[in-house]
Chain A
């Protein structure tokens, strides 16, 4: 926090902060997601860097007022570049007792707690499991509590409009939004414009929403309750045109981009599953870019159809989450042995089994690498931020087609749902993806086509049906070298197992070398992968600012590892590996490089927090 003088016409004190994390929480029907998004828009237009994370309830229609029905939206806005939605909350807005109960643990000591006190009736308190009213029993003494009669104030604000009781109730999120907009000094313009556009044909709704929004703002300004207003100055963002993007949207757009760059149609096979269904919903909207979407009868059919498409010369992609990924196992092995290009997206969620569908985890790493019968290596890559999902999709498609191999993208429910500002890329700056299908010319006059004759990268030709003279058979049986016929020859089998493995291993020469942030050698390296990046980077950066020798590297390529990884690992005294599982990357690193590491395992269905990594670093370095 950097308090600073500011010219103001306000009569209240203004305190300047460099970053703030707030969460809006209420019943699913309270419109907190929407209020959060509008607050976010105001923040980005104002010039802050932001990162947000929605927290949806586990149940679709939980009874109103219950713990299961609580929905939240977290916003981190800053005058610096940030890379996580934030761990602890500086401010929490709760619309009912259940929201208070679910979210209070994340609020910092002395944090701001705005409570819609109108909802703290005996009945609602009971639904939330409170025996006493927490607003009255002093249990909130460690926080700065601001009880506000949001329901009543909202009713008063909109009473001149002719609204039904239900409609009135639906506007109260805008009162709350107005209030926090004042508190954090956000302009209302973008929200007002949005309301006018959204409800174009319903003037009463426009008036009501705008009235209550402004009433909330004015309430903050005039009431004695709030002595201080907070100001977070704009960040120095990379210049350019921006929009919001969630990880799932970016993955979808990345696939379309890849189709564009490869001048290929994409076939997307999927069966609905949280948190991957949004990929299906998004891609199906883009037929005009050559995206064929097939909602299959199950995940086996999803991947089977995608492999069928690849056999036919399209790029097959199958998207799913943990349980569906398990069902795809056998077919993935077929893609490995037939050597067909394929991209499988696993948006990981907390497991095992059905686990916690709406909660993120990184528990499928070892499964992606090894979860098939026989020796069946394949490339595995993981996006680190929502924007990086776009790049990851393109990279996966490139590798799949260049190396004739299935590629697994390990996203997770955290990066999939995080919404970040994204600098819109210029697609003309991307390299085209070269794809070649052989024609009869490849035979050079001979009669025989060798579908498993390999190029310098050990890659076989992608011959496709419809090509005269190249008719060939493939399948799950071990192939005779070169001809692709069936072979049970012991040495042939060993040779092919090794060749397929070597092909994947060599991809390491064709991927970016591993980047490190911080000193090139030193006391400690934080080695993270996938979506743990944001927290790992921020924690390491905070330690660096305090003068410690802490570096961080985030692995995007989980198989094969980057060429320079071993050298990097040897350049640090200690290595800390934070991950949302019980130590799967740690296991891999230790097995592969015989290097001792320390793990930070968190499996709570929640992302690892900056503070948790920082505390662990402090322990390892022996600082207080």
Chain B
């Protein structure tokens, strides 16, 4: 990627379309943070492409002054895959929602991740179908009462991070719409990662699911409910960093380690680079309210990308080519009629 000549600012990424999200929607802050992050990436604006499916979240590309495509419901990863495999020089970002990415588009999300296509997938999870006005989604909690589930939904919720781990995504992270610095750091990490980066972003739908992530966004509640993952560091949380995660057999447990007479180093230590996804999987299972929910990078491993391997095989084949197209036509059994 060539260096951009002039220094870009967040406003360079604004378009002249009116942003149509409801006032107070969590999507605004995600948009603002992405606009702040892009100028720090050293990628020319014209080499960035945002591709989305359908949903409130998927309106996103219209608000970014880069190349962009708002495609069809659930299929954004397919367009992104085709684009990245054709134009490996581009920085390709997918914007999807919990319904878009995990319901109708679950198949594509899974396959893009297992192929390790070098695209960045941002899943705006508001645990609801926003655009269609408030039905439960695959991430809505069991028993959720919505317009389409007046007596409570009968669906067990999908766990997006576990899903991504199951699909062997090489970079997996979680952040929250209101965590400015944290989000920008995670985005930068994703941009630097070579391979599929999957980021679940908790997002508040003010209209149909307000307060769902209050435990994570409220300044006070956050201390007890969120565990910030840092590579190589013990898993500590709480207002006074008095609590930690301890592995008991195969089950993680929360302990007040200081009270119990332990030190930080008796706790679980985070390892983003572990080749096996076991630890990351433990972490993905830690859900509110039983556990503090981890945010940050769950996993960041290196493996060859699909698009990289395809590109290489293309270049090798083209270089090794010995025949013209006309000669190709002449291959096989031929005969002359006079």
Q: Does the CB pair B334–A243 fall under 8 Å?
A: yes
B7 at the interface (CB under 8 A from A): no
Which residue from chain A places its CB closest to the CB of B306 in the assembled complex? A294
Decide yes or no whether B250 CB sits under 8 A from chain A: no
Chain A residues with CB below 8 A from B317, complex form: 287-288
Smallest beta-carbon distance B120→chain A, Å: 15
Chain B residue nearest to A294 in the complex (CB): B85
Within 279-334 of A, Cβ neighbours of B (below 8 Å) are at 286-290, 292, 294, 296-298, 300-301, 303-309, 311-314, 316, 330-331, 333-334
Interface contact B69-A473, CB-CB below 8 Å: yes
Contact check: which of A253, A309, A470 meets B86 at CB < 8 Å? A309
Q: What residues on B are CB-neighbors of A465 within 8 Å?
A: 46-47, 49, 67, 83, 87, 90
Cβ-neighbour of A471 out of B46, B72, B338 (below 8 A): B46
Contact of A292 among B51, B62, B314 (CB under 8 A): B314
With known contacts A311-B79, A427-B325, A41–B333 Cβ distance under 8 A? yes
Say whether A355 faces chain B, with CB atoms less than 8 Å apart: no
**Is the CB of B336 closer than 8 A to any CB of chain A?**
yes
* Chain A: CB-nearest residue to B52: A475
Question: Least Cβ distance of B55 to chain A in Å?
Answer: 12
Instruction: Report the Cα distance A509→B153, complex, angstroms.
Output: 57
What's the nearest-Cβ distance from chain A to residue B119, in Å? Answer: 10
List which B98-120 residues lie within 8 A (CB) of chain A: 107-108, 111
**Assembly CA distance A477 to B17 (angstroms):** 13
Say yes or no for A257: interface residue by CB 8 A criterion. yes
Within 8 A of B (CB), among A235-275: 237-244, 253, 256-257, 260, 265, 267, 269
Looking at chain A, what size class is its interface with the partner chain?
35 or more
The reply to whether the CB of A622 lies closer than 8 angstroms to some CB of chain B is no
- Once A305-B81, A308-B82 are accepted as A-B contacts, the answer to whether A473 and B329 lie under 8 Å apart by CB is no
User: Given the complex, which residues of B lie within 8 Å of A316, measured CB to CB?
Assistant: 82
Residues of B within 8 A of A267 (CB): 82, 85-86
Contact with A along B54-89 (1 / 0, CB 8 A): 100000011011111111100101111111111101
Residue of B nearest to A314 (CB): B86
Shortest distance from the beta carbon of B36 to any chain A beta carbon, whole Å: 18
Interface 1/0 per residue, A327-345 and B, CB below 8 Å: 0001101100010000000
Interface size on B, residues (CB 8 A): 58
Separation of A41 and B108 alpha carbons in the complex (Å): 46
- B331 nearest CB neighbor, chain A only: A243
Segment 245-261 of B: residues with Cβ below 8 Å from A? none
Kindly provide the distance from the CB of A361 to the nearest chain B CB, expressed in whole angstroms.
28
Q: Which of B232-282 contact A (CB under 8 A)?
A: none
Chain A minimum-CB-distance residue to B332: A243
Asked whether B45 is an interface residue with its Cβ less than 8 Å from the other chain, the reply is yes
Q: How far is the CB of A295 from chain B (nearest CB, A)?
A: 10
Find out whether the CB atom of B336 lies under 8 angstroms from the CB atom of A241: yes
A285–B46 CA distance with the chains assembled, in angstroms: 33
Which residues of B sit under 8 angstroms from A510, Cβ to Cβ? none
Contact at B86–A265, with CB atoms within 8 Å? Answer: yes
Does chain A have a CB within 8 A of B151? no
Q: Is B296 an interface residue (CB 8 A)?
A: no
**Minimum Cβ distance to chain A for residue B153 (Å):** 26
Closest to B323 in A: A288
CB-CB contacts of A463-493 with B at 8 A, as 1s and 0s? 0011111111111110000000110000000
Residue with the greatest number of chain B CB neighbours at <10 A, chosen from A290, A312, A476: A312
**Quick check: B313 and A298 within 8 Å, CB to CB?**
no
Q: Which residues of A contact B337 (CB under 8 A)?
A: 47, 237-240, 242, 423
* Contact among A290, A298, A426, A428 with B318 in the assembled complex (CB-CB below 8 Å): A290
Is A44 engaged at the interface, CB distance under 8 Å to the other chain? yes
A465 CB → nearest B CB, Å: 4
A466 vs B91: C-alpha distance when bound (angstroms): 10
The residue in chain A whose Cβ has the minimal distance to the Cβ of B17 is A485
Find out whether the CB atom of B90 lies under 8 angstroms from the CB atom of A244.
no
Contacts of A265 in B (CB 8 A): 86, 314
Tell yes or no: B9 within 8 A of A by CB: no
| Bound CA span A244–B330, Å | 11
B2, closest chain A residue (CB): A466
A47 contact set on B, CB distance < 8 A? 337
A408 to B92, CA, bound (A): 28
Nearest B residue to A37, CB-CB: B333
Could you tell me if A486 and B86 are in contact, using CB atoms closer than 8 angstroms? Answer: no
The answer to whether A242 and B334 have CB atoms under 8 Å apart is yes
| Known A243-B333, A466-B46, A468-B44: A288·B318 in contact at CB below 8 Å | yes
Which residues of A have CB within 8 Å of B77?
Answer: 301
> At the interface, yes or no: B207 with Cβ under 8 Å from chain A?
no
- A334:B338 contact, CB within 8 angstroms: no
CA distance A621 to B250 in the complex (A): 85
Contact of B82 among A243, A305, A333 (CB under 8 A): A305
Counting CB contacts under 8 A, is A140 at the interface? no
Q: Quick check: B70 and A292 within 8 Å, CB to CB? A: no
Q: Does B132 contact A (CB under 8 A)?
A: no
Q: Is there contact, CB below 8 Å, between A308 and B65?
A: no
Contact of B310 with A by CB under 8 A? yes
User: Does A425 reach chain B (CB closer than 8 Å)?
Assistant: yes
Closest Cβ of chain B to A510, distance in Å, is: 25
Give the docked Cα–Cα distance between A385 and B156 (Å).
54
Task: Identify B335's interface contact among A242, A303, A475, CB under 8 A.
Answer: A242
Interface residue from A45, A242, A306, A428 paired with B326 (Cβ < 8 Å)? A428
Are the C-beta atoms of B75 and A331 separated by less than 8 Å? yes
Say yes or no: A241 contacts B15, CB within 8 Å. no
Given contacts A467-B46, A473-B67, A486-B62, A241 and B82 within 8 Å (CB-CB): no
Query: What 0/1 readout, one digit per residue, does chain B (295-338) give for beta carbons within 8 Å of chain A?
Result: 00000000000000010011001101100011011101111111
Q: A473–B81 contact, CB under 8 A?
A: no
A511 at the interface (CB under 8 A from B): no
In the bound complex, do residue B72 and residue A305 qualify as a contact, i.e. CB atoms below 8 Å apart?
A: no
Task: Find out whether the CB atom of B69 lies under 8 angstroms from the CB atom of A301.
Answer: no
A595 at the interface (CB under 8 A from B): no
Query: Are the CB atoms of B61 and A427 closer together than 8 Å?
Result: no
Q: Are B83 and A297 in contact (CB under 8 A)?
A: no
Give CA–CA (A135, B279) in the complex, Å: 73
In the complex with contacts A267-B86, A305-B85, A473-B61 CB distance below 8 A: yes
Query: Would B81 and A294 count as touching, CB distance under 8 A?
Result: yes
| Cβ contact within 8 Å between B85 and A309 | yes
Q: Is A424 an interface residue (CB 8 A)?
A: yes
Q: Judge whether A304 and B82 touch: CB under 8 Å.
A: yes
Complex Cα spacing A162 to B335, Å: 35
Residues of A within 8 A of B108 (CB): 297, 300-301, 304
Residues of A within 8 Å of B332, CB to CB, are 243-244
Complex: how many Å from CA A601 to CA B173? 59
If A239-B338, A287-B313 touch, whether A301 touches B68 (CB-CB below 8 Å) is: no
Q: Which residue of B54, B75, B335 is within 8 Å of A300 (Cβ)?
A: B75
Q: Which of B78, B82, B326 is the most central at the interface, judged by chain A CB atoms within 10 Å of its CB? A: B82
Give chain B's interface residues, CB within 8 Å of chain A: 15-17, 44-47, 49, 51-52, 54, 61-62, 64-72, 75, 77-87, 89-90, 107-108, 111, 310, 313-314, 317-318, 320-321, 325-326, 328-330, 332-338
Sample (9) of A-B pairs whose CB atoms are under 8 Å apart: A240-B337, A296-B78, A298-B107, A304-B82, A308-B79, A314-B87, A465-B46, A469-B46, A476-B70
